[in-house]
Structure 1
Amino acid sequence: MREIVFDTETTGLSPGNGDRLVEIGCVELVNRVETGRTFHSYFNPGRAMPSEAEAVHGLSERFLSDKPPFDTVVEALLEFIGDSPLIAHNAAFDFGFINHELGTCGRPTVCHSRMVDTLAIARQKFPGAKHSLDALCTRFGVDRSLRIKHGALIDAQLLAQVYVELTGGRQIGLGLVAAVIEVDPAALVVETIAAPVVLEIRPPRAHAPSDEELARHAAFLSGIKDPIWNRLAGRG
């Protein structure tokens, strides 16, 4: 099964308030295994970058000024994601921005039935715990040392590892194929069962002490002062 794990960076929290998509990173999984195929692009949002947003992802207005607008990259993006399920952390946020950008350039929006939200999965699986991407990386031992700031591609790569763990680990895609063994009847070897072996029964060995051993034992006991068996004699 093919799935796409993705993440976005934006100028703010709401496309309805004029915020725009500035970065997207996608990672391809097939049967819960990364294939190495990715899609990554920055976009010129055509508006100023608020300082609060820049502090999160580090993408300045100057850096994005020579990047392509979304509508010039949309064909390559749609070709990459195809009709595969789309996995994101707090997926409604990312879907909202992607669908806003698609609508702006006259493209059909992505159906929410394709949405897989790892945040919802984590909340159901670990109620009461922290569910941020950083917290889940720590829980599953995913190395996030390269994540200095939010970045769409690196966050998608981290999320891909987290998603695999959230959904059962790498063994979820492990399939064992039963082998069918054909046996040639002519090649069968008939084993003759030999007659049962009769074991020789030996007479029991004598284990009674000799007169010498009894004398040595009595001498040993006579050297014990006030033995406990004398004090217990007559009790019972």
Structure 2
Amino acid sequence: MREPVKKSGGFWDALRTRTVPTSTASMIGTHSAQQIAFIRSLTKGQRRPETLHIPLTELKTAVFDLETSGFHTRYGDEILSFGAVKMEGDRVTNETFHALSRSTQPISKSIIDLTGITQEMSDQAPPLVDSLHDFMTFIDDRVLIAHGSAHDKSFLDNALWRTTRTHLGHRVLDTMMIAGKLEPGRGITSLDDWLNVYGIEITVRHHALEDSKMTAALWAALIPRLRYKNILTLGDLYVFLSKG
């Protein structure tokens, strides 16, 4: 389910204060210039210190996943789809987001087989800036969660830089890192393995929204285990993760 894009004061303020240069706006068109200004406004000020004191049971998060055309942005691999689900503390909400993004390069057969995203589906999808704008609108200023987040952060940051010359400013938590820290003896990393550990049903893998939902269920299962170790707030979690 794709949420309607909401209006934002920051969106128009950025345009009025010329966050987007006139030359850029004229080159890419007003609609895209407005999108870029809004995305820029969302990437600023996401690391407020007061967030560290919020209990994990009350923390507003957005669990997300990306499907990509490969593993390396430096070789031209791109985002093919975005998925996300909002959480309120340990409760998974019904607010979800899924969108395809048009690839500028042919999609390999191995990626088509893995993700189910065909070349035709990609060709009919919106350009990256449109899907990225809608995704950033959906996640808003929430703390982000992903499993094996390095890959997703790299692609998201690259997409932001390519389209808006900004970097991702959101805090990002990694369920793979947290689960591994809680149970280091298991020696596993994959989402499938951790889902099996916590008895979470595996639905459709390598689908951005379905992977987001399963990762959200994993995060919900990790919160009480963190609480058992007296890790109650986001700040506590950072301290726990920083210990050797």
Alignment TM class, shorter chain as reference: 0.5 to 0.7
Spell out the pairing of 1:19-168 with structure 2 (5 A cutoff).
19-111=77-169, 114-129=171-186, 130-144=188-202, 146-147=203-204, 149-168=205-224
1:40–1:121 distance in 2 versus 1, CA, 3 Å: same
Q: Distance in 1 between matches of 2:211 and 2:133?
A: 23
SS at match of 2:184: coil
Measure how far apart 1:74 and its partner are. Answer: 2.6
1:126 is matched by which residue type in structure 2? E
Structure 2 partner of 1:13: 71
Q: Distance in 2 between matches of 1:137 and 1:24?
A: 21
Measure how far apart 1:170 and its partner are. Answer: 11
2:216 is matched by which residue type in structure 1? A
Measure how far apart 1:136 and its partner are. Answer: 1.2
Q: Residue 11 of structure 1 contacts residue 49 of structure 1 at CA under 8 Å; is this kept in 2?
A: yes
Which structure would you say has the larger RCO, counting Cα contacts within 8 Å and 6 or more residues apart? 2
1:172-208 C-alpha deviation (Å, 9 max, x unpaired): 9xxxxxxxxxxxxxxxxxxxxxxxxxxxxxxxxxxxx
Larger Rg: 1
Q: Distance in 1 between matches of 2:209 and 2:165?
A: 24
TM-score by length of 1: 0.67
Q: Residue 61 of structure 2 contacts residue 87 of structure 2 at CA under 8 Å; is this kept in 1?
A: yes
Higher helix share: 2
1:170–1:39 distance in 2 versus 1, CA, 3 Å: farther
Q: Distance in 2 between matches of 1:68 and 1:24?
A: 12
1:119 is matched by which residue type in structure 2? M
1:4–1:152 distance in 2 versus 1, CA, 3 Å: same
1:163 is matched by which residue type in structure 2? W
SS at match of 1:86: strand
TM-score by length of 2: 0.65
Q: Distance in 2 between matches of 1:167 and 1:48?
A: 41
Structure 2 partner of 1:231: none
Give me the identity figure in percent. Answer: 27
Unaligned runs of 5+ in 2: 1-58, 229-244
Q: Distance in 2 between matches of 1:158 and 1:106?
A: 30
Q: Distance in 2 between matches of 1:120 and 1:170?
A: 13
Measure how far apart 1:51 and its partner are. Answer: 2.2
